[in-house]
Amino acid sequence: MSDFFVSAQIYLPILLKGMWLTISVTLLSLALATALGLVWALFRTSGVRWLSISTRIVVEFVRGIPILVVLFYIYFVMPEFGLDLTAFQAGVAGLALTYSCYIGETFRAGIEAVDRGQVEAAKSIGMKTPLMMRRVVLPQAFKIVVPPYANNMVMLLKDSSQVSVISVAELTMQGKMLASSTFDNMTVFTLVALLYLCLTVPLNFAMRYVEVKMGQAR
């Protein structure tokens, strides 16, 4: 056990560099996925048939492709079409695109769960659709989607490890390189697991706190 702590003091500074990159990838991907997911949700619930159907096709298409394949396609194939991204940019784009579809479906379900009577009431007093969505529908939908959205956040954080396959030196990749150079697999990957827990456990508690507070405010 003493050897573990001695080794941990040596390995942690290296792994922490990867952890900060993991946080960066997660936050940027989450921001983009949330914005794009809201667009998908608004398109799906727009009432415009062709827009709703085309969005559904795009969402189902992306959801049906593994994240690794999306990352490979963006990083290795898109340069042939003139879009040459760095590994970090490709990783963020791939995660954001994939998770925007899951988050979009979460938002869509929340929007459709809002009482239709309130929507009709808003229309009856002359509210235009953008104003109605901003003041009536989205605030209520947000409260509904907090639990599944929090779950998507945690899943995205863990799936950020997938970007290691395109050489982004986040936490998992740093762990792999460190383990291959030291052959101390047990210590390295135990530390990697503990660092992931240091990220996910507080996030779970924070989102649970927000969920409870919002439930009390209803």
- The tens digit of pLDDT for each residue in 122-152 reads 777 777 777 777 777 777 788 888 888 989 9
Task: Please answer whether residues 4 and 158 qualify as being in contact, where contact means their C-beta atoms are separated by less than 8 angstroms.
Answer: no
Q: Which of 45-49, 97-101, 175-179 has the highest mean pLDDT?
A: 97-101
Q: Is the CA virtual torsion 64, 196, 7, 3 positive or negative?
A: negative
Whether 216 shows a pLDDT value over 60: the answer reads no
Cβ-in-10-Å burial (0-12, 13-18, 19+) of 127 comes to middle
Task: Tell me the average pLDDT across 81-101.
Answer: 94
Percent of the chain clearing pLDDT 90 (strictly above): 57
SS3 content of the chain, % helix, strand, coil (to 5): 90, 0, 10
Distance CA 156, CA 172 (A): 14
As a whole number, the mean pLDDT across the chain is 88
Residue pair 29/95 in contact by the 8 Å Cβ criterion: yes
Of residues 2 and 192, more confidence is placed in 192
Q: 87 vs 45, 82, 110, 202, 210, CA distance in Å? A: 35, 15, 34, 28, 34
DSSP string, 155-182: HHHHHGGGGGGGT--SHHHHHHHHHHHH
- pLDDT at 99 (0 to 100): 96
* pLDDT on residue 217: 53
**Residue 97 in this model has a pLDDT that exceeds 70:** yes
Q: How confident is the model at residue 26 (pLDDT cuts 50, 70, 90)?
A: very high
* Buried/exposed code over 54-71 (b: 16+ C-beta within 10 A; e: otherwise): ebeebbeebeeeebeebb
